[in-house]
């Protein structure tokens, strides 16, 4: 219900009545009929987020099929505490609901009384009207960080990453109170950079999945849905031939002496002294400590910090190392094309990999002339 000033309210839960459940079911049926190629993950997202919209409508006595632009604006305003990417997704789901309903020819109940309330930017423009940047990473919105502000950092429009020379400083400053611990930590740092793996994937890398003569490791992706990406759910990552000796020395000679939990010649590559696997948080701690030792760690400060603002995020993390590896592949390694980089990164869509590309108009011109002169 709206308050005594007529303001919209957001329901405490997302439960909806049987009538709204029926409407949601009709929408999903029509969505899959009209757009049969829609992925299951998109269907799941639309189902969840259209439910949010219908719950909002019920809480505010709005008939969804009679809603007008002002109602959608009220919904946006009650969700402005969410991240930009989340709010953008919520709004796209509302747009999807009305686009599918307005184009439906098979269900008599799906009739809009007042037309599409948010068909395009003339109705609602998230960026201009609300300052919502749907495609901009949240950390770039929430922090006053630019690659130009920190030595050793590079950035494209979407991604902040470390330059290769900065990453190499991490190797030289791996933490560790004993020689064995320091060696393990160097292995973790190098694997993160060479493979571009997520920390969860790094923690699951196994000795038995290494193909030594090809310097490659098979792994299972930490994020992808097997049903939607059967060709990427298991992927191959690589390491340089120069790293083979150090990695093999660790797995064959040092690892089982370092840990009481290690099995010789099998199990996780990264382990602790008493645990047969190293947790992702432990890997992240190694990366952050190496950055502090190297003098390259910086806080991601809030855009408007208070005097006692606690620093919760840092520039150099295990995920930043992954981003840095992918950025290096697509910008510095002409031998690796964008499609190969996508497969090594385990990205579901090529657009994710393209976010890492730094535009260089001069290089484009030179490459074009060389190509056309052949």
- Does the pLDDT value for residue 26 go beyond 60? yes
Tell me which residue of 113, 101, 130, 102 sits closest to 62, measured CA to CA: 113
Number of domains in the chain: 2
End-of-domain residue from the set 86, 118, 136: 136
Q: Please indicate, yes or no, whether residues 47 and 101 belong to a single structural domain of this protein.
A: yes
CA dist 213 and 191 (Å) reads 17
Q: Is residue 28 part of a domain?
A: yes
Q: Is residue 371 part of a domain?
A: no
Which two three-digit tokens encode residue 156? 């494209």
pTM: 0.61
Q: Please indicate, yes or no, whether residues 51 and 148 belong to a single structural domain of this protein.
A: no
Q: Is residue 374 part of a domain?
A: no
End-of-domain residue from the set 87, 104, 136: 136
Q: Is residue 12 part of a domain?
A: no
Q: What is the CATH number of the domain that holds 100?
A: 1.10.150
Q: Please indicate, yes or no, whether residues 210 and 128 belong to a single structural domain of this protein.
A: no
CA dist 295 and 292 (Å) reads 5
Q: Please indicate, yes or no, whether residues 210 and 178 belong to a single structural domain of this protein.
A: yes
End-of-domain residue from the set 103, 136, 169: 136
Q: Please indicate, yes or no, whether residues 96 and 197 belong to a single structural domain of this protein.
A: no
Q: Is residue 11 part of a domain?
A: no
User: Under the phi-then-psi rule, with left for phi > 0, alpha for psi from -120 to 50, and beta for the rest, what region is 346?
Assistant: left
Tell me which residue of 350, 356, 352, 291 sits closest to 318, measured CA to CA: 291
CA dist 94 and 347 (Å) reads 27
Q: Is residue 5 part of a domain?
A: no
**Per-residue confidence at 143, pLDDT binned at 50, 70, 90?**
very low
Q: Please indicate, yes or no, whether residues 187 and 287 belong to a single structural domain of this protein.
A: yes
Q: Is residue 59 part of a domain?
A: yes
Q: What is the CATH number of the domain that holds 173?
A: 1.10.443.10
**Per-residue confidence at 278, pLDDT binned at 50, 70, 90?**
very high
Query: To the nearest whole number, what is the mean pLDDT of the chain?
Result: 85
Q: Please indicate, yes or no, whether residues 302 and 329 belong to a single structural domain of this protein.
A: yes
**Per-residue confidence at 140, pLDDT binned at 50, 70, 90?**
very low
Neighbours of 59 (CB within 10 A): 18
CA distances from 122 to 66, 74, 128, 274, 358 (A): 19, 17, 11, 61, 32
Identify the H or E element spanning 195.
helix 179-195
- Which of 4-13, 55-64, 165-174, 175-184 comes out lowest in average pLDDT? 4-13
Q: Please indicate, yes or no, whether residues 128 and 167 belong to a single structural domain of this protein.
A: no
Q: Please indicate, yes or no, whether residues 129 and 158 belong to a single structural domain of this protein.
A: no
Domain of residue 280 covers: 142-360
Q: What is the pLDDT of residue 305?
A: 52
Give the burial string for 301-328 (b: 16+ CB within 10 Å, else e). eeeeeeeeeeeeebbbbbebbbbbbbbb
Which two three-digit tokens encode residue 148? 């130009």
Q: Please indicate, yes or no, whether residues 126 and 146 belong to a single structural domain of this protein.
A: no
Q: Please indicate, yes or no, whether residues 176 and 305 belong to a single structural domain of this protein.
A: yes
Dihedrals phi, psi of 119, to nearest 5 degrees: -65, -40
C-alpha atoms less than 13 angstroms from C-alpha of 306 in its C-beta half-sphere: 3
Q: What is the pLDDT of residue 60?
A: 92
Q: Please indicate, yes or no, whether residues 330 and 197 belong to a single structural domain of this protein.
A: yes
Instruction: Evaluate whether 201 touches 191 at the Cβ level (below 8 Å).
Output: no
């Amino acid at each position: 219900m709206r308050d005594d000033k007529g303001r919209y309210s957001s329901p405490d839960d997302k439960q909806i009545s049987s009538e709204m459940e029926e409407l949601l079911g009709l929408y999903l049926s029509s969505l899959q009929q009209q757009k049969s190629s829609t992925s299951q993950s998109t269907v799941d997202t639309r189902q969840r987020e259209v439910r949010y919209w219908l719950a909002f409508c019920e809480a505010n006595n709005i008939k969804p099929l009679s809603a007008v632009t002002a109602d959608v604006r009220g919904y946006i305003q009650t969700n402005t505490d969410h991240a930009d990417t989340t709010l953008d997704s919520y709004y796209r789901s509302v747009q999807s609901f009305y686009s599918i309903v307005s184009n439906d020819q098979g269900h008599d109940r799906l009739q809009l009384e007042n037309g599409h309330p948010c068909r395009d930017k003339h109705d609602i423009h998230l960026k201009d009207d609300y300052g919502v940047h749907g495609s901009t990473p949240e950390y770039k919105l929430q922090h006053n960080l630019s690659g130009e502000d920190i030595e050793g950092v590079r950035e494209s429009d979407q991604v902040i990453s470390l330059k290769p020379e900065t990453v190499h400083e991490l190797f030289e400053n791996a933490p560790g109170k004993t020689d064995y611990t320091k060696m393990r930590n160097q292995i973790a740092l190098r694997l993160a950079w060479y493979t571009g793996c997520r920390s969860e994937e790094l923690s699951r890398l196994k000795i038995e999945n290494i193909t030594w003569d090809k310097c490659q490791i098979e792994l299972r992706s930490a994020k992808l849905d097997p049903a939607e990406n059967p060709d990427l759910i298991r992927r191959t990552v690589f390491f340089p031939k120069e790293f083979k000796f150090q990695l093999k020395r660790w797995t064959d000679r040092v690892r089982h002496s370092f840990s009481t939990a290690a099995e010789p010649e099998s199990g996780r590559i990264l382990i602790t002294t008493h645990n047969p696997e190293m947790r992702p948080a432990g890997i992240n701690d190694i990366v952050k400590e190496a950055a502090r030792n190297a003098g390259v760690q910086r806080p991601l400060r809030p855009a408007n910090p208070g005097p006692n603002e606690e620093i919760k995020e840092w520039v150099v993390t295990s995920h930043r190392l992954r981003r840095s590896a992918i950025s290096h592949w697509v910008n510095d390694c002409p031998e690796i094309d964008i499609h190969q980089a996508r497969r090594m990164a385990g990205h579901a869509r090529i657009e994710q990999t393209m976010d890492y590309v730094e535009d260089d108009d001069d290089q484009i011109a030179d490459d074009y002339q060389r190509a056309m002169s052949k």
